[in-house]
Amino acid sequence: MCGIFACHHHPNVQQFKPTALKMGKAVRHRGPDWSGNWIANNTILVHERLSIVGVDSGAQPLVNDDETVSLAVNGEIYNHRILRKGLKEPYNFKTHSDCEVIIPLYLEHDIETPRFLDGMFSWVLHDKKQDRVIAARDPMGITSFYLGRSSKTPGAVYFASELKCLHPVCDNIISFPPGHVYDSNTDKLTRYYDPKWLVEPDNIPTKPVDYKELRATFENSVRKRLMAEVPYGVLLSGGLDSSLVASIAQREKLRLDELAKKRNGTSNGVEADGHAAGHLVGIDDSNELATVNVLPDLHSFSIGLPNAPDGIAAKEVADFLGTKHHTFTFTIEDGLNALSDVIFHLETFDVTTIRASTPMFLLSRKIKAMGVKMVLSGEGSDEIFGGYLYFHAAPSKAAFHKENIRRLENLHLADCLRANKSTSAWGVEARVPFLDKKFLEVAMNIDPEEKLIKPGRIEKYILRKAFDTTDEPETAPYLPDKILWRQKEQFSDGVGYGWIDALKDNAEKHVTDEMMKNPKAEWGEDIPDSKEAYWYRTMFDELFPSYCASTVMRWTPIWVKQTDPSGRAIETHNQKYEDKA
């Protein structure tokens, strides 16, 4: 991940520059490798870089030869080599960065540019000749992005990766909607990501599940996200989603190792010239993953309280796959001490997000300390396949499908926000294969009847079945059966049941019954429904102005009576774990 800040149409951009640089510095944790800025007309772009691809030459903002188009990007464009080859007009690329292709794409396709991109991204592009700004966010909002305005500078528009860059200079801020593009010529946001399943939620798919297609599409999604020139790993909770990601990544590593050995005459992970193997991985001109060196061991990471359910399962998966696994533990005191920092970085007061983000935030710090800059993660699967336990109560396939869509539309305010900001807080990038555009197209056009949780069918049955090789003796199993068919354990539960219990207990100490009866007037109708929620909201208010609260969404289940978002609070959570935490 990187951090960006931009302002277009500022009345005195030179005078504003020191402030703009300060706002960019507020997200330097996202991009600790280099800082850059560019001014053209009355627009300034500020960039804080985390280098993953084009490490030696991808400093930003990026500018074309005649300095008429400038660009600041946060993200990864996986199909950049294909796009470079498909350009109609020659373009003088100055870097190996995957993001630079956005400039010539804009010169050829204008406002339609984001439709061509396969990746996760937030970017701001300035056209000096037109004095025009185009800004866009990836289809599902994997990268965080905000748009702001200020009553002190009417006519100016501001963009940033995080709220903390905007609230000092803006008094009106929104979360930039995923799958949209902004054009300063019209001062409007327009949807560019418009698959039928998303824009026609009442049109219920009827396509039967094709297990081979589902598996192949997801495998390709993981492959393309291994594009990197730096050490990387996988977040491994021991649940189905992260375990499948780890399994495919490890299989791909072993495949590429064999390919590299054949090409280079290597053996035992050492190149023919005797030097240690490198870790360069890239997408070739056929959009396939390729490497010229034997890859290092695939590292996997998990965290939890001592003897947590997820930690035990993650170790089983790692042993089965042969990854170099790192199990970290945290104490309840560690988690409680980090809460204020978590809320500062996450910029939310949502109960579910804070519960799950705290261990992920602590884990990301450990990962960065080991020199790893990119990880794969399993977010998105539960939204696509109805993996949350409350989906057991879905009254019909139409309702199930619409809830899938609602969850996906709000991911940028929930799990995407958590994964992006928990890792970016320490300069680590999280990539999420389940939210690949092609995979979404396949998975969201399956008849939701196939996804319904019925007697004899556990949640996410079709995903599990797609990777069940019981009837394929020629194919090595992806996961042990006990993991492949393990019941859903939401992350904030799986790290150890004592974690949520401790949060509730501490909220009781900080929030009185009298406080619950008298919420703050500025909260309006957005009243916390528990002492835990009240506690988080007061911490948020200490860090951010009240108008920032409109960018926050509360995560709540439907079809069930309880309001606690913990999976453990749902009646169908019948898996028994011995809690030693």
How many C-beta atoms lie closer than 10 Å to residue 343's C-beta?
A: 22
d(CA 73, CA 182): 15
Name 200's Cβ contacts closer than 8 Å, sequence gap at least 6. Answer: none
Report which of 43, 349, 6 is spatially closest to residue 148, judged by C-alpha positions. Answer: 6
pTM of the model: 0.92
- Point out which residues pair with 183 in neighbouring strands: 134, 188
Report which of 329, 289, 360 is spatially closest to residue 498, judged by C-alpha positions. Answer: 329
**Any known ligand binding at 378?**
yes
CB 35 within 8 A of CB 358: no
Q: Could you tell me the strand order of the sheet in which 157-160 lies?
A: 34-40, 43-49, 3-8, 157-160, 146-149, 172-175
d(CA 24, CA 36): 9
Q: How far is CA 28 from CA 47, 50, 417, 447, 565, in A?
A: 9, 9, 17, 44, 33
d(CA 466, CA 539): 44
At 497 the pLDDT is: 77
**Any known ligand binding at 322?**
no
Three-class DSSP category at 446: strand
Helix 497-510 and helix 332-346, axial crossing angle in degrees, nearest 10? 70
Handedness of CA 570, 571, 576, 578 (dihedral sign): positive
Would you state the torsion angle of the CA atoms of residues 196, 199, 205, 208, taken in this order, to the nearest 10 degrees? Answer: 50
Output 449-457 pairs: Cβ under 8 A, ≥24 positions apart.
449/397, 450/208, 450/209, 451/385, 451/386, 451/397, 451/400, 451/401, 451/404, 452/386, 452/394, 452/397, 452/400, 453/386, 453/391, 453/392, 453/394
* Residue 201 token pair: 């939620």
CB 505 within 8 A of CB 342: no
Helix 351-369 and helix 531-543, axial crossing angle in degrees, nearest 10? 60
At 230 the pLDDT is: 80
Backbone angles phi, psi at 43, to 5 degrees: -120, 140
How large is the C-alpha radius of gyration of the chain? 23
Name 268's Cβ contacts closer than 8 Å, sequence gap at least 6. Answer: none
Q: Could you tell me the strand order of the sheet in which 232-235 lies?
A: 324-329, 299-304, 232-235, 374-376, 429-431
- Point out which residues pair with 238 in neighbouring strands: none
**Any known ligand binding at 235?**
yes
Helix (H) or strand (E) holding 299: strand 299-304
Instruction: Note down pLDDT in tens along the chain; length 581 residues.
Output: 799 999 999 999 999 999 999 999 999 999 999 899 999 999 999 999 887 776 666 589 999 999 999 999 999 999 999 999 999 999 999 988 899 999 999 999 999 999 999 999 999 999 999 999 999 999 999 999 999 999 999 999 999 999 999 999 999 999 999 999 999 999 999 999 999 999 999 999 999 999 999 999 999 999 999 988 788 899 999 999 999 999 999 999 998 888 878 877 644 443 333 333 344 566 666 666 665 556 678 999 999 998 888 888 999 999 999 999 999 999 999 999 999 999 999 999 999 999 999 999 999 999 999 999 999 999 999 999 999 989 999 999 999 999 999 999 999 999 999 999 999 999 999 999 999 999 999 999 999 999 999 998 999 999 999 999 999 999 999 999 999 998 765 544 557 678 999 999 999 999 999 999 999 999 999 999 999 999 999 999 999 999 999 999 998 899 988 767 655 555 555 543 333 33
Amino acid at 146: Y
CB 239 within 8 A of CB 313: yes
Amino acid at 200: E
* Residue 555 token pair: 């995560």
First to last CA, the chain: 34
Domains of the chain, first to last: 3-194 (3.60.20.10), 227-269+276-387+425-443+458-510+522-569 (3.40.50.620)
CB 222 within 8 A of CB 433: yes
At 256 the pLDDT is: 85
* Residue 372 token pair: 């790893």
At 122 the pLDDT is: 98
β-strand pairing of 146-149 with 172-175: antiparallel
Catalytic residues: 2
* Residue 18 token pair: 């020191």
Helix (H) or strand (E) holding 73: strand 69-77
CB 335 within 8 A of CB 303: no
Report which of 489, 573, 412 is spatially closest to residue 241, judged by C-alpha positions. Answer: 489
Amino acid at 78: Y
